[in-house]
Amino acid sequence: MKKRNDSIEEIKIKLRRTELLLEINKKIAGLHDLSQILWTLIEFITNELEADRGTLFLNDKETNELYSRVAQGDLTREIRILNNVGIAGAIFNSKQGEIIHDVYKDQRFNKEVDQETGYRTKNMICCPVKTVGGETIGVIQVLNKKKGRFTKDNLTVVNAISTQAAVSIQNAQNTEHFEKKRAKEMEFISIVSDVTAEIDLGALLQRVMEEATRMLNADRATLFLNDEKSNELFSRVAMGEGIGEIRLPNNAGIAGSVFTSGKTMNIPHAYADLRFNPAFDKQTGYFTRSILCVPIINKEGKVIGCTQVLNKSGGKFTEEDESRLKAFTQQVAIALENAKLFEDVSKSRKYNESMLSSMSNGVITIDSEGNIVTCNKSGLKIFKINENEIIKKKAKDFFSNSKSWIFEKITNVSESKEPDIIMDAEVEIFDKNTEKNEKISLNLTILPLINEDSDGRTDQSDNFLGTLLMFEDISSEKRMKSTMSRYMDPGIANQLLEDGADIMGGLDTTATLLFSDLRSFTTITESLGAQGTVKLLNEYFEIMVECISEQGGMLDKFIGDAIMAAFGLPISHEDDEDRGVKAGINMIKRLWDWNDQREKDGKPPLDMGLGLNTDKIVAGNIGSQKRMDYTMIGDGVNLAARLESACKQYNARILISDYTYKKLKGTYRIRYIDDVIVKGKTEPVGIHEVLDFHSDLTFPNLMDVVNHFNEGRKKYKSGDFSNAITSFNECLKANKDDSLSGTYIERCNYLIKENPSDWKGVWIMKSK
């Protein structure tokens, strides 16, 4: 009888379970929203088990997290935990449901959750959510049985219901995933369409970086384009109220690796990757965790740059992030090339216009109909006229009377399509100020303007655009200026000629001063003799002056084998400090190139040191009315000279002051080497060494040395000399020829022995 009663009870239980499964099927059959299905299941199970509350977690395969949806008013909030944490994580991984009668005795339970919410969890059922195929897709937790304890039958019910609902849950997940993906794709198309409409390169770069950051839920992004002229990767970034440019070699760092290899890099832990350079983090205080960097490839398959995104919110960048960023950069690649081309064309046009305007030679262009189209400022000045007296005039009318021979030459060039050069021609012009005719001497060049077709061939009859006339004034003033420019900077010669008699006096200004000096030059010249020494210096100065002039610098004077130059005189630029540093780098590089040839010829190589400082100075013509010199004076000049001399002490080639370093706009390989009090001064000055002229061959493991050196300097400044020696020894391990690290080891040993009581991290120079 008992067995029969047991059988009846089992049948009733099975019927009840069947009813429950049918009922839950009915409840969720018409639901398609994942959140509603989750809430409906939890409500049904907690009511059936007479529990206080419950939670259904689903697994996110991309992030390895368990997530649940919580309704808060009209909003839905997501709770996420790692899928190996707590009781839920343990059940998800074991795939076996459990009844826990006292959760506080279970080590897997996180008591902090109760403490934060004020809720007291007593007992629970925790059960994996499995599909019919046995795949675990989530976990159900049912908390606090209202009466009695949870039973095995309760666990069986939860298992059965969760398995029954798994198909609906998966379908809803797939639908939600599809809708999100579709929404992302529509948003992606909209973003690409919006971004690629931008033609200004700076604005386009900013938009792409902003959208990449937002699209991947990252902290920041940088888009680099390759500058084929300089082999540098550059990007435009917001700096203060404007847009600045950062540059780095196109083979340096992670961005350089991606650009040169054309392969994506997804680095979950930046500091664990040897290619990552932490120096920028140390400079800025930013902490880089994860990096995703993809190449930008144009339609011809050429890598034109790369996009670097940092610090994914909530973890590492996923494969989907890689795909989206690749697709995004692929779509904007054409827009980037177009914007860069537009910028190059605009720059070229502005450059040509600026060049035309600033040329000392007069330039006049005439169209194919014989009308004068343009005349630059020098042309107006040479002919002593205003624009309205020449622009849109017929060339035949303007070049008439005493100038009619010029029109004859223009006609000949128009017919022959061959250029013509007339040297030292005399032209008569009318000076309205004196109301007299005067004669000037000119060199005249007349060029035909021919339009080339796409194949580079020319059809001179059909593609003739007009003629260009270039007038070079070779009157007495011009000849004098040409002569003077051989003995002084052309800008100063210009100033002297324009100022006339009033050429005495000085100007307070800010400039970047450069001093350079050859090393052991006296020893080399002893074997050369007077003529050999002069020849050597002429060759050396020719190279060095070109480096200074390329950056818009002004050569002030030669002092024996030394050079004194300035950047910011007589015309200042926004980046005079950078121009000075670049000039110094080029001076060393070209000296080394020259040395290679000298050694091949059996001649001894030369070495040099440079010092740069930015400060207020007095510049002007100093002397007497009979003899004067344009020069610069002031403490800033003296400090630049001291830095050049200090190169010997620090075994360096380029030293710059802290005043110059703080105003640099570009990115260079620089290390902060000392705080010193130079002779004659009481306040310390920061000194930095520029290392950009080095290659891997001339300075192995450069950035490793710089990083160890920086650590050593910190310990040195704090008075921790023993540990500082350890860091400097690491520098020597990376590069045994780093003499500066050896100097600091000697200095630290000396300070350990002396044990100064008032150590402030400042070294006093006892010599100039």
Provide the sign of the torsion angle of the four alpha carbons 550, 556, 557, 558, taken in this order. negative
Mean pLDDT for the chain overall: 79
Residue pLDDT, tens place only, 594-638:
999 999 988 889 999 999 999 998 877 666 655 666 678 888 899
Q: What confidence score (pLDDT) does residue 514 get?
A: 95
- Indicate if the pLDDT at residue 50 is higher than 70: yes
Which among 217, 191, 500 is positioned nearest to 328, based on CA atoms? 191
Residues 654 and 548: their CA atoms lie apart, in Å, by 15
Residue pLDDT, tens place only, 694-716:
999 999 999 999 999 999 999 99
Name the residue with higher pLDDT: 332 or 157.
157
* Strand-pair category, 670-677 with 763-764: parallel
Q: What confidence score (pLDDT) does residue 505 get?
A: 52
- Whether the CB-CB separation of 515 and 534 falls below 8 Å is answered with no
Fill in the amino acid letter for 461: S
Q: How many CB atoms lie within 10 A of CB 160?
A: 16
Residues 640 and 766: their CA atoms lie apart, in Å, by 16
Residue pLDDT, tens place only, 132-155:
777 888 888 888 888 888 888 888
Residue pLDDT, tens place only, 342-374:
666 666 666 666 666 666 788 889 988 899 988
Strand order in the sheet with 436-450: 372-375, 362-367, 464-473, 436-450, 420-431
- The mean per-residue pLDDT over the stretch 440-449 comes to 86
- The mean per-residue pLDDT over the stretch 428-451 comes to 84
- The mean per-residue pLDDT over the stretch 557-565 comes to 88
Which among 57, 101, 106 is positioned nearest to 83, based on CA atoms? 57
Q: What confidence score (pLDDT) does residue 401 get?
A: 87
Residue pLDDT, tens place only, 647-668:
998 999 999 999 999 999 999 9
Running DSSP on this structure, what letter comes out for residue 119? -
Residue pLDDT, tens place only, 87-123:
888 888 888 888 888 888 888 888 877 777 777 888 8
- Whether the CB-CB separation of 477 and 525 falls below 8 Å is answered with no
Residues 688 and 453: their CA atoms lie apart, in Å, by 53
Residue pLDDT, tens place only, 483-515:
545 544 565 556 555 554 444 456 788 999 999
